[in-house]
Chains A and B, each alone.
Chain A
Amino acid sequence: MPGHAKAAIVIALWLASGVGEASAQVKLGAVLSVTGPASFLGDPEKKTLEMYVDEINAKGGVNGQKLQLVVYDDGADANAARTFATRLVEEDKIVAMVGGTTTGATLAMMPVFEEAQIPLISLAGAIQIIEPVRKWVFKTPHTDKMACEKIFADLKQRNLTTVALISGTDAFGKSMRDQCVAVAPQAGITIAHEESYGPRDSDMTPQLTNIKGKPAVQAVINPGFGQGPAIVTRNYRQLGIALPLYQSHGVASKQFIDLAGPAANGVRLPAAALLVAEKLPDNDPQKPVVVAYTRAYQQKTGQPISTFGGHAYDGLMIFVEAAKRAGSFDTAKVRDEVERTKNFIGTGGIVNMSPRDHLGLDLSALRMLEIKGGDWTLVQ
């Protein structure tokens, strides 16, 4: 009996401490794909959020209150994401949400936040999240449509107008392929030939041989992510194809250069300024932000920087700035202020939101990079 009594006291104390702690803090929700196939996105996002929430709290919090980050891992499963979204809204009573690592998870969670009237700042890529505009839904990463437009603009500058696509059949590759095909006519680009490959294929030489045999093609674009683009790049050099090769922002990480090896030299791709933080000219407005984030992240985690953690930084800071301007954590006021975000300098670009644009980035947010000597260089 005394044992039971002791246990009861311990449990009571534990409960009391938990409740006491929670009431003094404002809860910020995050459903991220920390494990599973999208973990290379979700993992840096989680680390970034934790790092900066700690830093903000150490400096006294926001509006005099400390933030408490509530992270759930959906394992890249949209169903799980929706369950966690409901839990965040009903049990955790969050004031805003930064997350949805993947497009699928975000699309599944959006109705929950629309209904509960809580702002959702997504970290996923697809344009469907913000088109059509939904009152409570925002996002920070560039869309694949912007990546296509950036590549086409660079092609025009080099007087190249006829291209071939070789795209992955995964969700990212398909979505970007569709966007590229859709915007090509406006950009004055002709897609002369199309090939595809499965996300786990280990040899793309047959597809590239077919592209090589089309004399009209002047450049090749490879929408896709994972190891596929690295193999495409290797096979491309193996076959001795001399045309310019464009990759997507989906492979904008050091890992791509490591995997593709010397074959990566000469490859161009659009990516956020974050990747070339130290190489930006000193008068670039983004430079201080991206350099500070890069140093903080690398010092804290010891891992190389990726743009995905940067998206989480942007989402968190847009929320914090909006809450400061609103002067409270009233969800409706915070939402209005998020929508009024102007000239916010993030890792992804300079954000100017409006009631019709819940992303707020233009093409200048993407930089055209070329890989030279195993490192990124800015194309001027």
Chain B
Amino acid sequence: MPEFLQFVFSGLTVGAVYALVALGFTLIYNASDVINFAQGEFVMLGGMTTVFLGLTGVPLPLAAVLAVVVTILVGLALHRFAIEPVRASGAVVLIIITIGASIFLRGVAQVVFDKRFHSLPSFIGGDAIRVGGAAILPQSLVVLAGTVVIVVLLWAFIERTLTGKAMIATAANELAARLVGIDTRAIVALSFAISAAIGAVAGILITPITLTSYDVGTVLALKGFAAAMLGGIGSAVGAVIGGLLLGLFEAFAAGYISSQYKDAVAFLIILIVLFAMPRGLFGPAPVERV
């Protein structure tokens, strides 16, 4: 039984990381139908900028805030200089551009920062909390709490503010949205800024657990994307549930089957779920646009 509990804790820890990355995908997808594969690099930028500002003597809380600002600026620049000029090209072209942007950001990070791994201290105490023979790090709880806060804020923003409604309108039909006076360009730019902010916050929260380096974004983006697909892309709740489930699949596969096949098992389960429910667990029902 302690083993089972430990696997659950492990799964939730890793799952919360995936959930945070998956949330970043959700927003840009909702506003523009683009899956932003540079989302992992936003996560990397959040963590690495905090680490390096910290090294220059900036107090860590301030460094974290600055890192979020820097990442937002990068997100806006990505939109302005890479996405906006070719906005009419369709989603596939834009997705390929985000992959290019991801490689570019990784290369720049290699030069601006360095190629080593870095860590941040835990936010609250480093000692593990022991429950029923299993142990969980306080930082894992911070990550889980951070995920909940972001989901609630995101929900409130989309459902309760006019700008949020404008974002839904832009996603539903860009031309119609423009006709009713919505500045769709600004809305899409805003979605990049918020996604960058979510990514940066995720990077700062998870670095004490997962460590960070210039190239952590690749794997995180892959896992976060898988989590978003599993939960149903476009749904914030789905992203979180998908992330947590993916983490739990991996932990149980590593614990009960074999650590060699844990990724294979996790992706197999995702394939089976998507086969049965092609839009994911919480994906919006397909709507025919006429």
- Asked if A and B bind, the verdict is yes
- Which residues of A are interface residues toward B (Cβ below 8 A)? 39-40, 169, 195-198, 200, 202-203, 205-207, 209-210, 213, 226-227, 230-231, 237-240, 255, 258-259, 261-262
Name which of A40, A202, A230, A231 has the most chain B CB atoms within 10 A of its CB.
A202
Q: Output the least CB separation between A20 and chain B (Å).
A: 35
Determine if B211 and A230 form an interchain contact, defined as CB atoms under 8 angstroms apart.
Answer: yes
Closest partner residue, chain B, to A256 (CB atom): B117
- Given A206-B262, A231-B211, 14 more A-B residue pairs with CB atoms under 8 Å apart are A40-B116, A200-B216, A202-B206, A206-B251, A206-B254, A207-B255, A209-B255, A226-B117, A238-B135, A240-B130, A255-B117, A259-B118, A259-B211, A261-B119
Determine the chain B residues whose CB is within 8 A of the CB of A206 once the complex forms: 6-7, 10, 251-252, 254-255, 259, 262
Q: Output the least CB separation between B173 and chain A (Å).
A: 40
Q: Within 8 Å of chain A (Cβ to Cβ): is B128?
A: yes
19 contacts between A and B (CB under 8 A): A40-B115, A198-B262, A200-B216, A205-B10, A205-B13, A206-B6, A206-B7, A206-B10, A206-B254, A206-B262, A209-B6, A210-B3, A213-B3, A230-B117, A230-B211, A237-B128, A240-B128, A240-B135, A261-B119
Determine if A255 and B116 form an interchain contact, defined as CB atoms under 8 angstroms apart.
Answer: yes
Determine if A202 and B210 form an interchain contact, defined as CB atoms under 8 angstroms apart.
Answer: yes
Name which of B7, B17, B119, B210 has the most chain A CB atoms within 10 A of its CB.
B119
Q: Within 8 Å of chain A (Cβ to Cβ): is B260?
A: yes
CA distance A205 to B5 in the complex (A): 11
CA distance A206 to B257 in the complex (A): 11
Contact of B259 among A195, A227, A259 (CB under 8 A): A195
Question: What 0/1 pattern do residues 215 to 244 of B give for CB contact below 8 A with A?
Answer: 010010000000000000000000000000
Task: Give the residues from 72 to 122 in chain B that come closer than 8 angstroms, CB to CB, to chain A.
Answer: 115-119
CA distance A100 to B260 in the complex (A): 30
Closest partner residue, chain A, to B17 (CB atom): A202
CA distance A65 to B107 in the complex (A): 40
Determine the chain A residues whose CB is within 8 A of the CB of B116 once the complex forms: 40, 255
Determine the chain A residues whose CB is within 8 A of the CB of B259 once the complex forms: 195-197, 206-207
Q: Within 8 Å of chain A (Cβ to Cβ): is B263?
A: yes
CA distance A169 to B264 in the complex (A): 14
- Which residues of B are interface residues toward A (Cβ below 8 A)? 3, 6-7, 9-10, 13-14, 17, 115-119, 126, 128, 130, 134-135, 137, 206, 209-211, 213, 216, 219, 251-252, 254-255, 259-260, 262-263
Q: Output the least CB separation between A294 and chain B (Å).
A: 19
A203-B211 in contact given A40-B116, A196-B259, A259-B119 (Cβ < 8 Å):
no
CA distance A11 to B144 in the complex (A): 65
Closest partner residue, chain B, to A207 (CB atom): B259
Determine the chain A residues whose CB is within 8 A of the CB of B13 once the complex forms: 203, 205
Closest partner residue, chain B, to A255 (CB atom): B116
Determine if B219 and A200 form an interchain contact, defined as CB atoms under 8 angstroms apart.
Answer: yes
Closest partner residue, chain A, to B215 (CB atom): A37
Determine the chain B residues whose CB is within 8 A of the CB of A203 once the complex forms: 10, 13-14, 209-210, 251
CA distance A230 to B210 in the complex (A): 10
A209-B128 in contact given A202-B17, A240-B135, A259-B211 (Cβ < 8 Å):
no
CA distance A206 to B252 in the complex (A): 8
Determine the chain B residues whose CB is within 8 A of the CB of A207 once the complex forms: 254-255, 259
Determine the chain B residues whose CB is within 8 A of the CB of A196 once the complex forms: 259-260
Q: Output the least CB separation between A301 and chain B (Å).
A: 13
Contact of B6 among A197, A237, A239, A262 (CB under 8 A): A239
Determine the chain A residues whose CB is within 8 A of the CB of B213 once the complex forms: 227
Name which of B117, B134, B219 has the most chain A CB atoms within 10 A of its CB.
B117
Q: Output the least CB separation between B216 and chain A (Å).
A: 8
Determine the chain B residues whose CB is within 8 A of the CB of A258 once the complex forms: 119
Determine the chain B residues whose CB is within 8 A of the CB of A200 once the complex forms: 216, 219
CA distance A262 to B213 in the complex (A): 20
Determine the chain A residues whose CB is within 8 A of the CB of B210 once the complex forms: 202-203, 231
Determine the chain A residues whose CB is within 8 A of the CB of B211 once the complex forms: 202, 227, 230-231, 259
Determine if B7 and A209 form an interchain contact, defined as CB atoms under 8 angstroms apart.
Answer: yes
Determine the chain A residues whose CB is within 8 A of the CB of B118 once the complex forms: 259
